């Protein structure tokens, strides 16, 4: 039997490389697996040999102990891989295909999937709509920070790259198609970014930088990125963004210095529930980003909210925050007729178009997010550096495909 190593959450602040079973075409019991999913047949799936699998800020929420993730949960929802086995019912995907895996697991059969709402598939998670690999309360599908991973509903879920050699030349860029590039793009689209727009993006982590890249791709006139981390702000400036240093205070005054007015057409929250306030010694204040975006966005505008919010946060600053209940100035949003779009990005709505933009040299997403390949064994170090604020998108290289 082929061996399989994987990165697992152990306890707050700690991940570890462990041995796990090689995948089979049946969902087995294990940490985080919903009991109703145990024994589920996956003849419609494939087994991938992992080419690239990224560390995501959403993983960091679990690793910090800010979710109800159980010990030994195998992490990883940003997966690119080569097909090595196909299930009995797979018709179009073949052994040897090189594919991107949307982080949303979707059946392709339910009402939501048929309406392109693949982030809230009704059939893959017994607890609630929506599922993902290696994530708490998402059905228990084993994560992809491993040598091998099972992908269900393969004909539907996988995005096959049209030319393997050409794809491998741009593999770090294409590795961003599983999550952060479509997620950032979704944030920009749902915020209404278009030709000539002025845009404020809260957060200069990988998703924020992907949203900024997307805003440029969509024709924005001015893209402004705000953060407390100067190294990440420098990364945003490296590809033409204006920046706001939130250690110096709130964003309105600095935005006015850039645009002449303290407002923008479009706002994107790429931070989520661990948001902090403004100023040099800013403390956690989870509603800060959403409230500041409502203040900053012009009347009639929209907010894209790809930043993660949860219903269970053991580390929340108060009892309300622990349940995902935040003190929002909804009256501001209502008075200004603002629109809000939240939730998982429906990756398949965008990933093929973004793949074509990458393959035809229209965008350099890996450079913009500072993608860096590291070994599977170095995953704990990568998690620690990312958590400390490194302006880097860490891409794990379990099987030596990446130079």
Residues 46 and 79 in one domain: yes
Number of domains in the chain: 2
Flag whether pLDDT at 45 surpasses 90. yes
Residues 63 and 166 in one domain: yes
Band of pLDDT at residue 392, cut at 50, 70 and 90: very high
Residues 143 and 189 in one domain: no
| Euclidean distance between CA atoms 351 and 328, whole angstroms | 32
Instruction: Give 104-132 pLDDT, tens digit per residue.
Output: 999 999 999 999 999 999 999 999 999 99
Range of the domain at 193: 180-341
Residues 173 and 224 in one domain: no
Flag whether pLDDT at 51 surpasses 80. yes
What mean pLDDT comes out for the span 195-211?
A: 98
Residues 244 and 286 in one domain: yes
Q: Which of 87, 20, 80, 78 is nearest to 50 (CA)?
A: 80
Beta strands of 259-330 (E only): which ranges?
A: 264-269, 297-304
pLDDT at 403: 76
Last residue of a domain, one of 341, 357, 382: 341
Residues 193 and 314 in one domain: yes
173 CB-near residues (< 8 Å, 6+ apart): 358, 363, 364, 365, 366, 371
Which domain CATH number covers 53? 3.90.180.10
Flag whether pLDDT at 206 surpasses 80. yes
Flag whether pLDDT at 351 surpasses 90. yes
Instruction: Give 317-329 pLDDT, tens digit per residue.
Output: 999 999 989 999 9
What mean pLDDT comes out for the span 336-352?
A: 97
Answer whether residue 403 is part of any domain.
Answer: no
pLDDT at 2: 77
Percent pLDDT > 90 in the chain is 94
Band of pLDDT at residue 311, cut at 50, 70 and 90: confident
pLDDT at 1: 52
What mean pLDDT comes out for the span 253-282?
A: 95
* 3 DSSP assignment: -
Q: How many helices (H) and strands (E) does the chain have?
A: 15, 16
| Euclidean distance between CA atoms 342 and 268, whole angstroms | 10
Instruction: Give 56-73 pLDDT, tens digit per residue.
Output: 999 999 999 999 899 999
Answer whether residue 401 is part of any domain.
Answer: no
Report the chain's mean pLDDT, rounded to a whole number. Answer: 96
Answer whether residue 402 is part of any domain.
Answer: no
Q: Phi/psi of residue 226, each to 5°?
A: -115, 140
Which domain CATH number covers 313? 3.40.50.720
Flag whether pLDDT at 148 surpasses 80. yes
């Amino acid at each position: 039997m082929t061996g399989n190593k994987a990165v697992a959450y152990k306890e707050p602040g700690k991940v570890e490389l462990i041995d796990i079973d090689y995948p089979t075409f049946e969902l087995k019991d294990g940490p985080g697996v919903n009991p109703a999913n145990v024994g589920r047949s996956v003849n419609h799936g494939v087994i991938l040999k992992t080419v690239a699998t990224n560390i995501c800020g959403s993983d960091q929420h679990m690793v910090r102990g800010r979710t109800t993730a159980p010990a030994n949960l195998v992490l990883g929802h940003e997966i690119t891989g080569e097909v090595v086995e196909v299930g009995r019912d797979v018709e179009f995907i073949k052994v040897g295909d090189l594919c991107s895996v949307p982080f949303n697991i979707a059946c392709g059969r339910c009402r939501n999937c048929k309406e392109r709402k693949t982030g809230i598939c009704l059939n893959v998670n017994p607890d609630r709509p929506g599922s993902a690999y290696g994530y708490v309360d998402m059905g228990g599908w084993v994560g992809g920070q491993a040598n091998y991973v099972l992908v269900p509903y393969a004909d539907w879920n996988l995005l096959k790259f049209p030319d393997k050699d050409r794809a491998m030349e741009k593999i770090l860029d294409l590795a961003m198609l599983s999550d952060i590039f479509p997620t950032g793009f979704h944030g920009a689209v749902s915020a209404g970014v278009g030709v000539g727009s002025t845009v404020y993006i809260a957060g200069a982590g990988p998703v924020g930088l992907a949203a900024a890249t997307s805003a440029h791709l969509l024709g924005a006139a001015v893209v402004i990125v705000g953060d407390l981390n100067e190294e990440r702000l420098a990364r945003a400036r490296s590809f033409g963004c204006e920046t706001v240093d939130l250690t110096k205070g709130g964003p309105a005054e600095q935005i006015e210095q850039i645009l002449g007015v303290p407002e923008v057409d479009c706002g994107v929250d790429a931070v989520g529930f661990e948001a902090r306030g403004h100023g040099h010694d800013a403390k956690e204040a989870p509603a800060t980003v959403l409230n500041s975006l409502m203040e900053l966005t012009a009347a009639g505008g929209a907010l894209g909210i790809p930043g993660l919010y949860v219903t269970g946060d053991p580390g929340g600053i108060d009892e309300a925050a622990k349940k995902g209940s935040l003190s929002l100035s909804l009256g501001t949003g209502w008075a200004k007729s603002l629109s809000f779009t939240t939730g998982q990005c429906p990756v398949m709505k965008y990933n093929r178009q973004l793949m074509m933009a990458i393959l035809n040299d229209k965008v350099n997403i890996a450079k913009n997010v500072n993608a860096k390949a590291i070994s599977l064994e170095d995953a704990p170090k990568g998690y620690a550096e990312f958590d400390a604020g490194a302006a880097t998108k860490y891409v794990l290289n379990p099987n030596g495909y990446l130079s």
